Amino acid sequence: MYRHILALQQVSRRTFVSTARRQVENKVPEKQKVFQEDNGMPVHLKGGTSDALLYRTTMALTILGAGYVVYELVKAAFPQKKN
């Protein structure tokens, strides 16, 4: 039993304490230049095609959701007559 606890302690120590760290390049200054330049584009579209796609998808879902809400409200306001 004690052997299992020691093994678990050793495994947990290895996962949290590591000497091999991956060096990550700092990309913040590059992104700041892109987003702060004055080119007439709105900020939410300066990220490229992925931002434009995300923006259009969000707008489409918002419009469809609003239309569905109006449809359900109209349907609830004029209930169907039962025969």
In SS3 terms, 10-39 reads as HHHHHHHCCCCCCCCCCCHHHHHHHHHCCC
pLDDT, position 14: 60
**pTM passes above 0.75:** no
Q: Is 27 a member of any domain? A: no
24-56 pLDDT tens trace: 889 999 989 988 988 888 888 888 899 999 999
Comparing 68 with 5, the larger pLDDT belongs to 68
Residue 56 domain boundaries: 42-78
Is residue 83 one of the residues assigned to a domain?
no
Q: Is position 2 within any domain?
A: no
Do 76 and 69 touch, CB atoms closer than 8 A? no
Evaluate whether residue 34 is within a structural domain: no
The answer to whether the beta carbons of residues 35 and 46 sit under 8 Å apart is yes
What does DSSP assign to residue 47? Answer: T
Residue bearing the bigger pLDDT, 70 or 40: 70
Is 12 inside a domain boundary? no
Total of domains in the chain? 1
